Structure 1
Amino acid sequence: MREVTERDIRASFVNCTKGEAKRLAVPKDLAALPWEDLDFLGWRDPGAPERAYLVTESGDGFVGVALRLASPHAGHVRRSMCSLCLTMHTGDGVSLMTARRAGKSGQQGNSVGAYICTDLACSLYLRGKKEIGLGGRLHESLTLEEQIERTAGNLAGFLDKVVA
């Protein structure tokens, strides 16, 4: 992913108002991020743990979506798989994240959801830059480039549902 600025981030959101985009918490360490290893930028809001954000390249610009995390099931140990990168996690490593649809549909309260790595670090899990423990990444015959392409396709499918 090419480097994105705070201004780019705030202008990219398709499923929230300009005022909401202006108020959301943007990562403070943008310059220090490993841009060459990121397929998309994802982060959690430190002031509101149930909120997350995702920004990705689209054409010549960026597309951003505001997400909400579903309530975790406390004390429930389970294994779940991220629908974007197909990484397995235990416990709260994967969360149901919902995004209000863009436009009139979203104004009527319609949303879409996907099970995504809770820390939104899919790109780093794919590349082995972030470890999650035994059994987290299943052995695949696909090359890293093919896995990245599949993840990008899964993300594009989710974003298509948000903007449809």
Structure 2
Amino acid sequence: MLPLTEKIIRASFANASRKEVSVLTLPPDFDELDWEAVDYLGWRDPKMSKRSYVVVPSGEGEVTAILLREADARPAARAQCTWCQDVKLPNDVVFFSAKRAGAAGRNGDTVGTLVCAEFQCSTNVRRPVPPAYLGFDVDAAREERILALRERAAAFAENVLRPS
């Protein structure tokens, strides 16, 4: 992911009001992020427990930022993250919803997804996978997982932008 500034992030929100954007708190480690190891930027707002944000690359140097709200209820069974689809589940997965952009969101339309609670997907897909068979290309499998994560996160962002 290309390095981002606070100004770029605040300007790229698709489904948040100016007030919501003005009160957001950036992640505490924002200045130390390793942008090479980040496929999307996601974090929880430390001041508002049910509010989170993701910033997803959406094309030629462009990004889409999305305000998420965590559901009050947790999945009844251990859920799998829709984005990284990590089978080891080193962390909790929660349901997040996002208002659609524009008039659809103002009318109450939302979309939802199951995502790692602390947005560790980029770390999860970079872990080496055990070789499935003799000659299995672990590096190619890892790159495939990274690409799939990027595609699924971008598809969610496109869904938020799509009028219902």
Range moving further from structure 2, 115-124 or 19-28: 19-28
Is contact 1:5–1:30 with CA below 8 Å preserved after alignment? no
Deviations 1:2-50 (A, max 9, x none): 1111111101100011221111111232221121110010000111111
User: Which of the residues 148, 151, 161 maps onto 1:163?
Assistant: 161
Task: Say yes or no: does 1:108 pair with 2:107.
Answer: yes
Give how far 1:138 is off: 8.2
Give how far 1:72 is off: 3.9
- Tell me the equivalent position of 1:67: 68
Give how far 1:139 is off: 7.0
Q: Distance in 2 between matches of 1:144 and 1:105?
A: 37
Range moving further from structure 2, 99-108 or 45-54: 45-54
Task: Say which SS state the counterpart of residue 160 (structure 1) adopts.
Answer: helix
Task: Say which SS state the counterpart of residue 20 (structure 2) adopts.
Answer: helix
TM-score normalised according to structure 2 size: 0.84
Is contact 1:67–1:97 with CA below 8 Å preserved after alignment? yes
Give the aligned length.
154
Structure 2 letter corresponding to 1:148? I
Structure 1 segment 13-162 matched on structure 2, within 5 A: 13-59=13-59, 60-73=61-74, 78-88=77-87, 89=89, 93-128=92-127, 143-162=141-160
Range moving further from structure 2, 109-118 or 81-90: 81-90
Pair 138,10 (structure 1): closer, same or farther in 2 beyond 3 Å: farther
Is contact 2:74–2:94 with CA below 8 Å preserved after alignment? no
Is contact 2:14–2:66 with CA below 8 Å preserved after alignment? yes
Is contact 1:98–1:114 with CA below 8 Å preserved after alignment? yes
TM-score normalised according to structure 1 size: 0.84
Q: Distance in 2 between matches of 1:14 and 1:154?
A: 18
Q: Distance in 2 between matches of 1:111 and 1:61?
A: 23
Give how far 1:126 is off: 1.0
Instruction: Name structure 2 gaps, 5 residues minimum.
Output: none
Task: Say which SS state the counterpart of residue 104 (structure 2) adopts.
Answer: helix
Structure showing greater Rg: 2
Instruction: Name structure 1 gaps, 5 residues minimum.
Output: 130-136
Q: Distance in 1 between matches of 2:126 and 2:25?
A: 27
